[in-house]
Chains A and B, each alone.
Chain A
Amino acid sequence: MEEVPQGCPGTGSAQAGRGASCQGCPNQRLCASGAGAAPDPAIEEIKEKMKTVKHKILVLSGKGGVGKSTFSAHLAHGLAEDENTQVHQSGSGWSPVFVEDNLGVMSVGFLLSSPDDAVIWRGPKKNGMIKQFLRDVDWGEVDYLIVDTPPGTSDEHLSAVQYLSAAHIDGAVIITTPQEVSLQDVRKEINFCRKVKLPVIGVVENMSVFICPRCKKESQIFPPTTGGAEIMCQDLKIPLLGKVPLDPHIGKSCDKGQSFLTDAPDSPATLAYRSIIQRIQEFCGHHQPKEEHLIGS
C-alpha cells in the first residue's frame, strides 16, 4: 500500500495527478492518465467474493460509544446460536478467525502485534485495508456478514458502501443512545444512508434505562430530553427495532469476550436483544426454525 501525499485530492477527483501535491507521488502518472476515475476493479471482485454471503448488514451510528461493537458482537452470537447457520471454508484467501464453529471474525486488531500499537493511518490507507478485508478474506458460505463500523460518516463508511456496492447490502442497523447529543449525530448518519442509498433496517436505542440491581427501580442515566429514538424514528419514518436497557453485566461480558446472551439469559437486556435480532432476521427474509429461543414480537 503506497503512502499518499498529504494534500492528495483523491484518486477520483478531477485534479487527480494534476494538483500541486501530486508532484512526487508514485501514483501521479496513473492518476493523471485518468485511470483513477475508472471504477475500481475490486468492486467486481468483491461482488464475486460476496456471492457466498447471503446477507450483509452494516452496523452504524453517527455517535461514538453507543454500542455498535457490543451490538454487532451480540447480533453475531445470537444468529450463530442457530446451529443451522453454516459456514464452509474453501481454503483460499485470508482466513477469518473462528470464535465458534459457525462464527468467524476479521479485524485489524488481529494484525497488530501489541495491544499498544496504534493504527495511525490517513484515509487512503484505511480504504486499502477495508478493500482487502472485503476482497481477500475467504468467508466461504456464510448466512450473515455483519460489518461493524467506527462512528462518523467518513472514509471507512464511504469505502464500505462503495466496495460492497455491487454485492447488495441488505441494510444498516443504526445504534443510538436516548439523549439528543447522540440523536443529532445519528440523524446525520441516517442522512448519509439516504445519500448513498443504503436501506435502513431500523434503529436500536441502547442504554435506554438503568435498572438498579439492588432496589430494581429505574433511572435514566442518559435522559431522552427530546423524546429519544422513539420520536426521532417517528419523525423520520424509520422502524424502531427496540430499546436495550443498561445492564452492567453487558460490559463485563464484553470485557471477558463472552456472549451476554448466554451469560445472562433472563436479563431484560437479553430479551430486548432477542426481539431485535428476530426483527432483523425477518427483514432479511430468513426465519429461525427454533422458535423457542426467541421472544416473539
Chain B
Amino acid sequence: MEAAAEPGNLAGVRHIILVLSGKGGVGKSTISTELALALRHAGKKVGILDVDLCGPSIPRMLRAQGRAVHQCDSGWVPVFVDQEQSISLMSVGFLLESPDEAVVWRGPKKNALIKQFVSDVAWGQLDYLVVDTPPGTSDEHMATVEALRPYSPLGALVVTTPQAVSVGDVRRELTFCRKTGLQVVGVVENMSGFVCPHCAECTNVFSRGGGEELARLAGVPFLGSVPLDPELTRSLEEGRDFIRDFPNSPAFPALSSIAQKVLSQAPARLS
C-alpha cells in the first residue's frame, strides 16, 4: 500500500489519465486534446498536463500559444484555454521565449521539470487531469509515473495506428504499463482508414486491424478506431473545438465514444 498522498496541488483532482504510446506521431496529443474537449462538453472540469518537453503540441491545439504562466502562493497557475475556465493547461511550451526554441536537455533536467509540473502547478478542483506524453518508455515516462503514483491514476489510454510497425512499438509500451503498475484503460486505434471525399472509397492508408489485435493479445479493452479526418487535423492546427464545431465529421463518433468509455470507468480507488 502506498503512503497517503500529501495534500498538495493534486489533492483536488478526481481522476488522472495518462495518454501513452511507444510510437511517435500516432495521435497522443490529438487524442488528449479531443478527450479533454469531449469531457468538457460532458460538463467536466479538465486539466491537461503536457509532459512532452521536446515537442509540446497542446498549446497550439487549443489556441493557447504564447500565453504567459503566472505564479500564485501554491506555485504556477495553469493557463485557462477558455473563458469559462473549464480547461486548464500546463506545458513547457509556455515557458519558452520563442516557439522555435529547442529544449535540448538530457534526462535529469527533464525529470526535474516534470516533477515540478506535477507538484508545483495549482490545478485546483478538477474532474479529470489528462497527461499527454512524448513517445517511448524513458525519462519522461518514468518521472511522470513516479510523481503521479501517490495520486492513484485511473490508468493509461494507449494509442496506436493500425500498422505492424506501430503495434510493434506499442506492445513495448504495454509492457511498461505492466512493469510500472499502471492500469491500461484501453487501446485507441487512430488513423484508421481514410474516406476519399471525392469518391467515398475508404483506403487503409496505414494498414488495418492492428489496434484491435493488440488489445486482444494484451487482454485490455479496445476503445475504438478513429479514422483519418482532415477536418480534425485542421481543427487542431487552428486550435478549434472539433467536438463542438464538427459533430458530423468522420472522426466525431469514435472520439465521443472513447470519451464516454472514459467517463464510465470506475476508479480503482477513490482519491
* Interface, chain A (partner B; CB < 8 A): 6-10, 62-66, 69, 115-124, 126, 150-155, 157-158, 177, 179-181, 184-185, 187-192, 195, 210, 212-215, 217, 219-223, 225-226, 246, 248, 251-252, 254-255
Judged by a CB distance under 8 angstroms, whether B234 is at the interface is yes
Map CB proximity to A onto B91-108 as digits: 1 under 8 Å, 0 otherwise. Answer: 000000001111111111
Whether A181 touches B205, Cβ cut-off 8 Å, given contacts A116-B175, A119-B172, A153-B103, is no
Q: Check B100–A122 contact: CB distance below 8 A.
A: no
A189 lies within 8 A of B102 (CB): yes
8 A–B pairs (Cβ distance < 8 Å), ordered by A? A64-B23, A64-B55, A64-B134, A122-B138, A154-B139, A158-B106, A181-B237, A184-B57
User: B234-271 CB contact bits vs A (8 Å, 1 = yes)?
Assistant: 10111000000000000000000000000000000000
Task: From A116, A119, A152, A251, give the contact of B171 (CB < 8 A).
Answer: A116
Interchain CB contact under 8 A, A65 and B199:
no
Q: Hey, which chain B residues are within 8 Å of A122, CB to CB? A: 107, 111, 138-139, 142
Asked if B205 and A153 sit within 8 Å, CB to CB, the answer is: no
Apart from A155-B138, A225-B234, what 7 extra A-B contacts exist at CB < 8 Å?
A64-B134, A181-B236, A188-B54, A188-B100, A195-B104, A219-B230, A221-B194
Interface size counted on chain B using CB atoms at 8 A = 63
Interface of A is mostly: loop
Residues of B within 8 A of A (CB): 22-26, 29, 53-55, 57, 60-61, 99-108, 110-112, 134-139, 141-142, 161, 163-165, 168, 171-176, 179, 194, 196-199, 201, 203-207, 228, 230, 233-234, 236-238
- Indicate which residue in B55, B60, B138, B238 contacts A63 across the interface (CB closer than 8 Å): B55
**A64 CA to B25 CA, complexed, in Å:** 4
The 8 closest A-B CB pairs, nearest first, are A65-B25, A64-B24, A123-B107, A152-B54, A188-B102, A215-B199, A118-B175, A255-B164
B205 touches A221 (CB 8 A): yes
Report the nearest A residue to B104, measured CB to CB.
A153
Contact A248 B201 (CB under 8 A): no
**What A residues does B107 contact at CB under 8 A?**
122-124, 154-155
Given contacts A120-B137, A152-B54, A219-B198, contact A192 B104 (CB under 8 A): yes
